[in-house]
Structure 1
Amino acid sequence: MSSGEITLTAGDAEVTVQPANGCRLGSLRLGDTELLRQGDRYGCFPMVPWCGRIRDGRFRDGAVVHQMPLNAAPHAIHGTARDGKWRTGRVDESSAVFTYDLTDPWPYPGRVSQVVELAEDALTLTMSVETYESTFPAQAGWHPWFNRSLGGDDVRLDFAAAWQEERGSDHLPTGRRIAPRPGPWDDCFGMPEGVDVTLTWPGQLELNVKSREQWVVVYDEQKEAVCVEPQTGPPDGLNSTPRFVTPLEPLETTTTWSWRRL
């Protein structure tokens, strides 16, 4: 099928997917209300095969050290798939499947799939990373840019984290877990019972981000948008808390965003 923009609908909800632009969601509209910041680098993109920053762009797999491009010097950030062209598979009115073959500069062959499923009151994103050959460490997650304002008061973020990954001056976790601190944030939080973050635009909309994963990065240092990023490990997790993709065990993760009007 074509790699052109795909639009899914359910009731008055509409989501647009851009396979040729890293399979990012370019738009999520509820009626006339756009929830995502617009622009080629915004919307919501999949972070894979790693999430956030890798320190100095290097990660170790056994005795081998791999170097990734320093696209956020001095670090590598957010994986490679967001810069790739994905293929469009099955599409119907409210759901679609997309795939991407991992390639250079990622050193291991593998395939990523993303399933987008829209309902009238929710959006579910599912990602999997598979390998048919080598076992390798990987991470997966999502980086949505939610509009700070929908035309009224600024959004309010509500969540109860068990811990915060202490952030060093290089924006990477130090390895210490600390009590959650007040924002503004560009920080990773631990939620061992699963990610559960509520965004409330007063008098307009409430949106809940959930995932079975236990890590979420919250970023609210920008005037235009806030980010709530469920992911399978913390930043630099390929080095600190690697999860391995094997021919028998893919890496699979899901997030669901549900909403209600206020």
Structure 2
Amino acid sequence: MSNEEITLTAGDKGAKVRVSPSDGGRISGLEVDGLELLRQGPRFGCFPMVPWCGRTRDGRFLDGATVRQLPLNSPPHAIHGTARDGAWRTARVAEDEAVLTYELTDPWPHPGRVTQVVALAEDSLTLTMSVEAYEDSFPAQIGWHPWFHRTLGGVDARLDFTPAWQEERGPDHLPTGHRTDPRPGPWDDCFGMPDGVDVTLTWPGRLELKVTSREQWVVVYDEQEEAVCVEPQTGPPNGLNTLPRLVTPLEPLEATTTWSWRRL
């Protein structure tokens, strides 16, 4: 099927999502009552992080007994996976749902398939992703990297969440392995939420948006003036080394996040 931009719609209030398969399978736009919630541009929107999330130290990870080397696309590290840089295939489209697939290939050392389902409702967007192994088992991670506009209708977003801990960040921007009490922002940090990710963005008088997931890890990045990023993921940065999730031909890795909103 064509890789042109896909538009999904749902509900009488005009929820609209744009999906760009050829631009890394990203969500390129989300409109609620005419308000665009995502920062625009080919690097922004919301892109899938797979088969790893955030930075992998020195681009290296242990794959069984083998040390693998990934391209250093954020020297000295490898960042955010490979799928955001590739073209995805459109498997199925309906009015309010799209299914995309991506074949894992070089520089990732194992063949496999990623499937992403984008499902829009009147007051929510649900993203589901899975990684399947064709032959060999391998470690992997799944996550999403949305760039939400900091300012909507002239008001700035307020960020509310109650993590159990914050991963201490070293000078190389990677977790040191120590956990601390949550500290004030601005952040480019990973937090643990053992009961599941639950983060609320509120633009007072405009909109409330909740980002939830059954996963227990979230990276919050709000060091830019233009955007706030809330990134649910299946493990912390450098997780291919510190908290690997094994994908086997019998057991795919799956994750889901839901964004739900209400007008204020």
TM-score, normalized by the shorter chain, greater than 0.5: yes
CA–CA separation in structure 1 for the residues paired with 2:15 and 2:27: 13
1:7 maps to 2:15? no
Please list the CA deviations of residues 183-219 of structure 1 after superposition, one character each: whole Å capped at 9, or x if unmatched: 0000000000000000000100000000000000000
Determine the structure 1 residue equivalent to 2:22.
20
CA–CA separation in structure 1 for the residues paired with 2:154 and 2:208: 13
CA–CA separation in structure 2 for the residues paired with 1:127 and 1:217: 18
Determine the structure 2 residue equivalent to 1:206.
208
Amino acid at match of 1:142: W
Distance apart, 1:63 and its partner CA: 1.6
Match of 2:223 among 221, 224, 227: 221
Match of 2:249 among 220, 230, 247: 247
Map 1:73-112 onto structure 2 (within 5 A). 73-112=75-114
**Counterpart contact for 2:153–2:206, Cα < 8 Å:** no
CA–CA separation in structure 2 for the residues paired with 1:136 and 1:94: 33
Map 1:1-262 onto structure 2 (within 5 A). 1-11=1-11, 12-262=14-264
Distance apart, 1:151 and its partner CA: 2.1
Q: How many residues align?
A: 262
CA–CA separation in structure 2 for the residues paired with 1:134 and 1:101: 15
CA–CA separation in structure 2 for the residues paired with 1:153 and 1:25: 23
CA–CA separation in structure 2 for the residues paired with 1:62 and 1:128: 21
Distance apart, 1:32 and its partner CA: 1.5
CA–CA separation in structure 1 for the residues paired with 2:86 and 2:155: 36
CA–CA separation in structure 2 for the residues paired with 1:153 and 1:13: 21
**Counterpart contact for 2:190–2:219, Cα < 8 Å:** yes
CA–CA separation in structure 2 for the residues paired with 1:131 and 1:90: 21
CA–CA separation in structure 2 for the residues paired with 1:6 and 1:31: 19
SS of residue matched to 2:42: coil
CA–CA separation in structure 1 for the residues paired with 2:134 and 2:2: 26
Identity, % of aligned pairs? 77
**Counterpart contact for 2:115–2:129, Cα < 8 Å:** yes
Q: Which runs of 5+ in 1 are unaligned?
A: none
Distance apart, 1:164 and its partner CA: 0.4
CA–CA separation in structure 2 for the residues paired with 1:223 and 1:152: 13
SS of residue matched to 1:20: coil
Task: Compute the TM-score of the two structures, normalised by the length of structure 2.
Answer: 0.99
Task: Compute the TM-score of the two structures, normalised by the length of structure 1.
Answer: 0.99
Q: Which runs of 5+ in 2 are unaligned?
A: none
Distance apart, 1:180 and its partner CA: 0.5
Distance apart, 1:90 and its partner CA: 1.0
